[in-house]
Amino acid sequence: MPSTTAPQIGSRRQVFASLLVLTLLSGVVHGVLDGRWSVHEDKVAHGNLLNDLPESFGEWTLVEHGDIHEGALQQLRCYGSVRNVYRHGPTNTLLNVAVMYGPRGPIAVHTPEVCYSSEGTEQTRKRSKETVETDSGPNQFWSVEFARRDDPSSRFEVWYGWTSGANWTAAEHPRFWLTDDLYKIQLSGPSTYSSFSPCKSFLTDFLPHLEQHIK
């Protein structure tokens, strides 16, 4: 009676080899997507340009300069970042603004819908796309509203978007952007139900200056 041991062993080896190849490919794809293996030369220098943003522009003035929380910076692996508070002169409206520059993967996946949901808030409407026009063309941002779970009246808006150096985009899947690095801007302020939008007003005045400080 012929033996089937040798073919069975060979078949198992092929299966193990195939699984090993798939595992390695999965690791490579994940590493590429989160920017783990991107080259860092001169990127900190580009990130440091964000520290030279003007303190006053249009109707907005810097009132507080701070840093992004160290834990968040470690997660995002930023090459550079700023977190400031600005006041709108005519209305005294305050906005919290963060600009980050880092590897595509971490910068792409940490959206407000993920972050704010773990901080005692809930989303109160679906996100929508907003357009801000500048001399360089149209820029698109996601807009979403939240409120604290213990105070439904405490509604606030968050706008955010990404760029690799051109105009800003409200990307559906920024993690698959065909570049190693991304800039992200995120700003939050009170929700308003009038013709004045604090976030749109700020971005209209701010973006022309920010464009000069990103590569």
Residues 19 and 93 in one domain: no
| Residue 38, domain member (yes or no) | no
Helix, strand or coil, per DSSP, at residue 88: strand
| Residue 189, domain member (yes or no) | yes
Contacts of 86 (CB under 8 A, 6+ apart): 60, 61, 62, 63, 94, 95, 97, 202
Q: DSSP assignment, residue 90?
A: T
Which whole number is the average pLDDT over 129-147? 95
Residues 91 and 2 in one domain: no
Residues 27 and 47 in one domain: no
- At 42 the pLDDT is 83
Which whole number is the average pLDDT over 27-41? 46
- Quick one: residue 58, left, alpha or beta (phi over 0 = left, psi -120 to 50 = alpha)? left
Number of domains in the chain: 2
The yes-or-no verdict on residue 123 having pLDDT over 50 is yes
What would the DSSP string read from start to end of 118-168? GTTEEEEEEEEEEEEEETTEEEEEEEEEEEETTEEEEEEEEEEEEESSSS-
Rounded Cα gap, residues 202 and 50, in angstroms: 17
The yes-or-no verdict on residue 45 having pLDDT over 70 is yes
Q: Label the pairing between strands 121-134 and 94-103.
A: unpaired
pTM, rounded to two decimals: 0.77
Which whole number is the average pLDDT over 164-175? 89
The yes-or-no verdict on residue 18 having pLDDT over 90 is no
- pLDDT band, residue 38 (cuts 50/70/90): very low
| Residue 175, domain member (yes or no) | yes
Element (H, E) at 94: strand 94-103
Encode pLDDT of 56-100 as tens digits.
Answer: 999 999 999 987 766 666 666 788 889 999 999 999 999 999 999
Which backbone phi and psi does 74 adopt, to 5 degrees? Answer: -65, -40
Residues 23 and 72 in one domain: no
Residues 170 and 91 in one domain: yes
Residues 11 and 81 in one domain: no
The residue among 130, 78, 67, 71 whose CA lies nearest residue 102 is: 78
Residues 28 and 62 in one domain: no
The yes-or-no verdict on residue 7 having pLDDT over 70 is no
| Residue 109, domain member (yes or no) | yes
- At 14 the pLDDT is 60
Residues 108 and 176 in one domain: yes
Which whole number is the average pLDDT over 158-179? 89
Which is more confident, 94 or 166? 94
Residues 12 and 48 in one domain: no
Contacts of 74 (CB under 8 A, 6+ apart): none
Encode pLDDT of 98-108 as tens digits.
Answer: 999 989 888 88
Which whole number is the average pLDDT over 150-176? 89
* Residue entry with tokens 């062993």: 9
Which is more confident, 70 or 138? 138
- At 73 the pLDDT is 60
Helix, strand or coil, per DSSP, at residue 61: strand
- At 59 the pLDDT is 96
Contacts of 23 (CB under 8 A, 6+ apart): none
- pLDDT band, residue 32 (cuts 50/70/90): very low
Range of the domain at 130: 43-213
